[in-house]
Structure 1
C-alpha cells in the first residue's frame, strides 16, 4: 500500500527486509567491499536495491544520481557499527534537524567479524525511521514547546525564529522551514544529531532503537 505521495510503504515488505538481513548474515563479503564504513554502506545500499529488484521487480534506476537508494520507497539507506557508531551528512537545511528530512531511512546496525577471505555481518537491528521522524528528538520536542509559547503570545515571531535557529546550533533556518515549523510543529524525532565544529551538520545514529513505524519508538 502506498500513500498520497505515491511512495510504497516499507511496512508492507517487512518480511522481505527480514529475509534480506538473514541473507546478508549468511555471506562472506570480500575485504575490498567491506573494510571501511563507506564501503559497507555502499554494499548494503547496492544489495538492498538488487534484492527488491529481484524479489519484487522494483527497479531503482537512476537512484544514485538522486541520492535516494530506493526511489519506490523514497529510502536512503544508512548503516552503522554497533561497536563504533558512524555519522553522516544528512541535513541540507538546519531546520531539518527539527522537521525531519524528505526521505525515509532504513538503518542497519551491524557487528562485523573478520573471517578467512573477508568479513561477515551480524545485523543487530534493522530500524525504520520515517521521514517525519528523521529529526533530532530533543530539538523537535523543544521546537514544539517554542511554537506553543509563540501561539500563546509569549514569543514574538522574530523571537521564535531566533530561538529556533539557536536550537539547531548550526545556522540560519530557511524561510520555508521556519514557516513549516511555525504552522505545523513537527513530530518528535527518533535520532540524535551532532553538529561538527566548523563543518556540516551530521547525524550520529542511535544504535539502541528499532523504530518500525511513525509512532513505534523514540530515541533516548
Structure 2
C-alpha cells in the first residue's frame, strides 16, 4: 500500500503530534548533552524519520540546503532551545531580509530537562512560518511605513544605507525598484547581518495565531 503524499497541512498537524509524543519519551541518548547543535540534529532526524514512515516525501541533504525541499513543501526545520530561541541559516542575498528567505520554516522550541537516568524534551512552542513572513520584522515594517508615507526609491535607498544592508548602490537600486513594484509583506523574524543570517524567533513563536499564514502551537496544546 502506497503512502500518502505529504502536504503543508499534514506537515503542520504532524509537527504538533510529534511534539506531544516526544515530550513523553525518555531521550536517554541526549542525557548530559549540552551542545545545542547536537540536540537540534537529533530532533530534526527524528522528525524526518517520523514523517518518512507515514508519507511519500523528499528529504533534503546538506547539498540541497533545506530539510524538506520538494516544491510543494519547501520547508526547513529549525530546532532551538527556549533559553535563546535562535539559529543561523545561509546568507544568499540581501533580498532575503526584505522578501523572505525563499522557503518556509518549521520551528521547534524545546526545554531540555536532565535527571537521574532520564532526559526530557518539553516542547514549549511549535510554529510554522510561510516564506512570505520569514523576512526581518523591523526592516519590512520601516519599508512599509516609507511606502505608506508616499516615499520613493530614494527614500528606500537612504534607509538601506542607514541600516548598512549588505550590498552596493546597484543592489540597493534593484531592491528599491522591486519594492516600489511590490510592497513586501510584514516579516516576523529578527535577522541579524553576519556571514550567516542569525534568525531570532522570540516574536514569531509568541504570535498566538494572530497573523495569517503563521501557525502557532504552545505548550498547553502540545501537552494535551
Q: State the Cα RMSD in Å.
A: 3.0
Quote the residue 2:221 is aligned against: none
Map 1:54-133 onto structure 2 (within 5 A). 54-60=53-59, 62-72=60-70, 73-117=73-117, 119-133=119-133
CA offset at residue 192 of structure 1?
1.8
String of CA shifts for 1:124-173, please: whole Å, max 9, x gaps: 11011111000122211111222344xx4x43x34422323434x44227
Could you tell me whether the CA contact under 8 Å between 2:78 and 2:87 is conserved in 1? Answer: no
Count residues in correspondence: 204
After TM superposition, the score normalised by the length of structure 2 is: 0.76
Structure 1 unaligned runs (5+)? Answer: 1-6
Quote the residue 1:47 is aligned against: 46
String of CA shifts for 1:165-200, please: whole Å, max 9, x gaps: 434x4422736544432321111111222335xx54
CA offset at residue 34 of structure 1?
4.8
String of CA shifts for 1:24-66, please: whole Å, max 9, x gaps: 2132331389531111221222122111110113241x43321
CA offset at residue 213 of structure 1?
8.9
Could you tell me whether the CA contact under 8 Å between 1:112 and 1:122 is conserved in 2? Answer: yes
Structure 2 unaligned runs (5+)? Answer: 216-224
Aligned partner of residue 185 in structure 2, secondary structure: coil
Instruction: Rate the CA distance shift 1:33–1:78 in 2: closer, same or farther, 3 A.
Output: farther
Map 1:140-159 onto structure 2 (within 5 A). 140-149=140-149, 152=150, 154-155=151-152, 157-159=153-155
Instruction: Rate the CA distance shift 1:8–1:59 in 2: closer, same or farther, 3 A.
Output: closer
Could you tell me whether the CA contact under 8 Å between 1:33 and 1:40 is conserved in 2? Answer: no
After TM superposition, the score normalised by the length of structure 1 is: 0.77
Q: Does 1:172 align with 2:167?
A: yes
